[in-house]
Structure 1
């Protein structure tokens, strides 16, 4: 029997799987990619056999539906947890699904509920990383986390999430599979940041360096209604483009950006 862990390479996917594997450690095949790489089941559909166990976290069931049905038909057992659109939910005895598409929910929150808040701080990090600050703050009320402590966890969520942006794994600071291997060694994100300070510092420094270069890029054209920026074809630009676009939109919500 083979275990396959398929997870989005962003903060939500990593923190969801970290919680699961801290609760139940298995030697699994890790299947992930950049944040936008969500067709993960296509990577294993030809490898799965009867009796295998497949866990899928934070990728759209609708986008993986055909491969999911094939894997179930091959006799594998599937646990699917996600917060994106599912389409028609398959009715199969080998499928256990935990899905909630409410806008204030993410996969880390669902896994936290599934595990009765066993690793709540990792859930807080994943929720912040998924840009659900209000949900993270609400979740933190169940613990003794102070506002200052929450800010630390929020930063980690942002950095973990940012690591997932890029056109390919080569653009990232860390392969998400490697990052999961590091986070899953520690029962809390505080322990991770303290004991694996080097990894945290690389994520932190990389995020701020990329944002600094983006902010220093002059607009090619700018007016009250629109602004155009041209970034170079470099790894930092491929990482930062989406986050920089959000930053520009937050700064000038009435201006279109390209």
Structure 2
């Protein structure tokens, strides 16, 4: 008997992409996800002939070997993503909807695929992915007022915030649990006003964010700012959304957020200047565990001894 398997990034974009697809086509499926940085998710999937695998918001390049394994086993794979993909395999049972444009996210690709039936959720995801201009442009047909746009912006930010951490224990909700909270709500405003779990997420976000006020950059010039956050759960949770906020606040500047890992070294988040959204992925791919997209990328483990090399590369990249 064939089965459905949904594989999705544990951030706002991955969750909202899956939510749209399953609103349009409800299915009981196996959910495969993890923290935002856990993108090699296809290694956790076993599927064969007749099984339908949907992959959302994780780099094809980082999952290439396991994608080929699943295709060779006879699985049907549908792939939506906006990260660096490398060469896309040609296979009879692979459908790809991949666009690496810096102004696109996976949820916007899914929304287009679904003729924008659940566009408000795609707008939410775009806000969460720090694509404010894309979100506002996509929202025009919805005829929302400024207060409603701000509500979707906060929702997207909170959903994205929930994905950051060094492990699942750092998160407020496991991403599949957060997806299940969203699942009953076709309308994000109903979720905002009616879901008790969202109030819990908002409270955690605001509490964590208050703590970054005391953080000053380790390095800064007119075009760059680099921050080092402490080894603390709140810091790991807030690192990505803080980098996004700084990018919005200083659009001519590139930002790097280095969060101290419990095991040593740093987790790195990089944001290209919003005035020129390119280069973040190329910078991060210079380091062993790096990857991402043009405007926003990261390194899962930057050893302490590579700090100076990273600063040099960061300054040269932007």
TM value normalised by structure 1: 0.90
Aligned length: 254
Verify the 8 A CA contact 2:157 2:241 in the aligned structure 1. Answer: no
Report how far residue 220 of structure 1 moved: 9.0
Report how far residue 234 of structure 1 moved: 2.2
Q: Could you tell which deviates more after superposition, 172-181 or 241-250? A: 241-250
Report how far residue 255 of structure 1 moved: 9.2
- Runs of 5+ unmatched residues, structure 2: 259-318
Alignment partner, residue 17 of structure 1: 18
Given the superposition, is the C-alpha separation of residues 50 and 145 from structure 1 closer, same or farther in structure 2, using an over 3 Å criterion?
same
Alignment partner, residue 82 of structure 1: 81
Cα distance in 1 for partners of 2:238, 2:163 equals 10
Cα distance in 2 for partners of 1:229, 1:92 equals 44
Alignment partner, residue 186 of structure 1: 185
Report how far residue 222 of structure 1 moved: 7.8
Cα distance in 1 for partners of 2:103, 2:256 equals 26
More strand by share: 2
Alignment partner, residue 64 of structure 1: 63
RMSD: 2.3
Alignment partner, residue 111 of structure 1: 110
Alignment partner, residue 169 of structure 2: 170
- Alignment of 1:144 with 2:143, yes or no, is yes
Verify the 8 A CA contact 2:160 2:241 in the aligned structure 1. Answer: no
Q: Which among 185, 203, 206 is matched to residue 205 of structure 1?
A: 203
Segments of 4+ moved more than 3 angstroms:
219-232, 242-258
Alignment partner, residue 131 of structure 1: 130
- Runs of 5+ unmatched residues, structure 1: none
TM value normalised by structure 2: 0.74
Report how far residue 9 of structure 1 moved: 0.5
Cα distance in 2 for partners of 1:122, 1:204 equals 18
Cα distance in 2 for partners of 1:82, 1:223 equals 33
Report how far residue 12 of structure 1 moved: 0.5
Cα distance in 2 for partners of 1:56, 1:211 equals 31
Q: Which among 242, 245, 252 is matched to residue 244 of structure 1?
A: 242
Verify the 8 A CA contact 1:127 1:157 in the aligned structure 2. Answer: yes
Alignment partner, residue 6 of structure 1: 7
